[in-house]
Amino acid sequence: MRRLSWLVPTFYILFLMLPIYWLLNMSFKTTNEILGTFTLWPQDFTLDNYRTIFTDPTWYTGYINSLIYVTMNTVLSVCVALPAAYAFSRYRFLGDKHLFFWLLTNRMAPPAVFALPFFQLYSAVGLFDTHIAVALAHTLFNIPLAVWILEGFMSGVPKELDETAYIDGHSFWSFFLKIFVPTIAAGIGVAAFFCFMFSWVELLLAKTLTAVDAKPIAATMTRTASTSGYELGLLAAAGSLTIVPGAFVIYFVRNYIAKGFALGRV
């Protein structure tokens, strides 16, 4: 029994890694090989797919667009959520608990519900097909999440820290920026990560609210597939590249991720 105990985790990990491996595998093949034969690894190893993506502006601008609105959204969400979370964690006011809960209900509707109103509204005010349009649309989901995560982290800091700072003579902003924000840096990292990930994988709103100038990479992928036939190798390479930013960001918050899933409450 003991000698076989490695079997289950190994199979599980293989099972998890298989789709990712297959994506990578395809990205190094030619489309002919993918469609023609079944091979476990590339027979005809090629980097052409990646070369195309990094040289053809219709491809790489997709990544740039996505990164722009995702970054905008992350910065915006965290900056707005910080003071809100502080208020929820430190002050009692009329209806605070209801308001706090109501924030989270925003996440309970599927994004598709908001696609039509956003599309109509942004077209009317001339925000259609801009990066800020997508960034703003995503804050609807990300600010509540960031407020919840940050509130959890902030409530873990004793109120006496605030008082000590005031006793020492710090003004509110001096305390907040120089002492409080560094104290909950891990929480800010986690909140930023969750905002980043949501905005990065969200497809429907991003596609609906853009046409050319702010077209996200995911939209580029579907459109290319329909115009020039099935360029599966190219698509696989693009797909592989979309994993990279997430993996990169997750590395920085790897120690705090679990606390983030618990919305900062442990």
Partner 1 sequence: MTLELKNVGLRFGAETHIFPTDLKLEDGSFNILLGTTLAGKTTLMKLMAGLEKPTSGEVWFAGKNVTGVSVRRRNVSMVYQQFINYPNLSVYENIASPLKVGGTPDIIIKQRVSTMAELLKLTPMLDRRPSELSGGQQQRTALARALVKDADLVLLDEPLANLDFKLREELRDELPKLFADRDCIVVYATTEPTEALLFGGNTACLFEGRISQFGPTGDLYRKPRDIISAEVFSDPPMNAAGIEKKGNTFHLGTKARWDAAGELSGLADGTYTLGIRPHHVSPVSRGEQPVAVDGRVIVAELSGSESVIHFNMDGSTWVSQSHGIHPFEVGSQARLYADMSKAMIFDGNGRRVSA
**What track of x and - describes contact with partner 1 for positions 49 through 68 (by CB under 8 A)?**
--------------------
Closest to partner 1 by CB, 57 vs 182, is 182
Closest to partner 1 by CB, 76 vs 191, is 191
| Integer Cα distance of 113 and 88 in angstroms | 28
Closest CA to 106 of 137, 70, 69, 127: 137
Closest to partner 1 by CB, 101 vs 172, is 172
| Integer Cα distance of 205 and 222 in angstroms | 15
Q: What sections of the chain are H helices per DSSP? A: 7-27, 31-36, 48-55, 57-90, 96-105, 112-125, 131-155, 159-168, 172-175, 181-183, 185-201, 204-208, 217-227, 232-252, 257-261
| Integer Cα distance of 225 and 234 in angstroms | 9
Q: Which of residues 146-205 bind partner 1 (CB under 8 A)?
A: 158, 160-161, 163-171, 174, 179, 182-183, 185
CB of 156 to partner 1, least distance (A): 11
Residues in binding contact with partner 1, number by CB under 8 A: 17
CB of 169 to partner 1, least distance (A): 4
CB of 185 to partner 1, least distance (A): 8
Closest to partner 1 by CB, 110 vs 182, is 182
Closest to partner 1 by CB, 191 vs 237, is 191
Helix 7-27 with 232-252: angle, nearest 10 deg: 130
Q: Which residues bind partner 1 (CB under 8 A)?
A: 158, 160-161, 163-171, 174, 179, 182-183, 185
